[in-house]
Amino acid sequence: MRPKALSLAAAVVAAAVLLSTAALAAPSISAQSAIVLDGCTGRVLYEKSADTRSLIASTTKIMTALIVLESCDIDARVRIPAEACGIEGSSLYLKPGEVLSVRELLLGLMLQSGNDAAMALALYCGGTREAFVQRMNDRAAQLGLENTRFANPHGLDDEQNYSTARDMARLAAIALERDDFREIVSTKSALVAGRSLTNHNKLLWRVDGAVGVKTGYTRAAGRILVGAAERGGRRLICVTINAPSDWADHAALLDFGFSEFTQQPVVTAGETVGEVPVLSGDRGMVRAASCESFSYPLAAGEEIGTVLRLPRFVFAPVMRGEAAGTAEFYLAGRLIGSVPLHWAESAFDAPEPPGLLRRIFGR
Catalytic positions, written as ranges: 58, 61, 113
CA distance linking residue 313 with residue 290, whole number of Å: 18
- E runs forming strands in the chain: 33-38, 44-48, 54-55, 77-79, 99-101, 162-163, 189-192, 195-198, 210-218, 222-231, 234-241, 262-267, 272-279, 285-290, 294-298, 305-309, 314-315, 323-331, 334-343
Euclidean distance between CA atoms 215 and 213, whole angstroms = 7
Largest CA-CA distance found in the chain, in angstroms, rounded:
104
CA distances (Å), origin 142, targets 74, 149, 151, 174, 180: 23, 12, 17, 12, 21
| φ/ψ bin of 262: left (φ > 0), alpha (ψ from -120 to 50), beta (otherwise) | beta
> CA-to-CA distance for 363 and 360, rounded, in angstroms?
8
The number of residues in the chain equals 363
- What are the helix (H) ranges across 127-178? 129-142, 165-175
Number of H helices and E strands in the chain, helices first, is 10, 19
Q: What angle do CA 13, 40, 32 make, to 5 degrees?
A: 65
Peptide bond into 317 cis (omega under 30): yes
Q: In this structure, is the dihedral angle defined by the CA atoms of residues 20, 211, 33 and 253, taken in order, positive or negative?
A: positive
46 three-state secondary structure? strand
Which residue, among 282, 334, 339, 333, has the nearest Cα to 310 in the 3D structure?
339
Instruction: Report how far residue 1's alpha carbon sits from residue 260's, in angstroms, rounded to the nearest whole number.
Output: 21
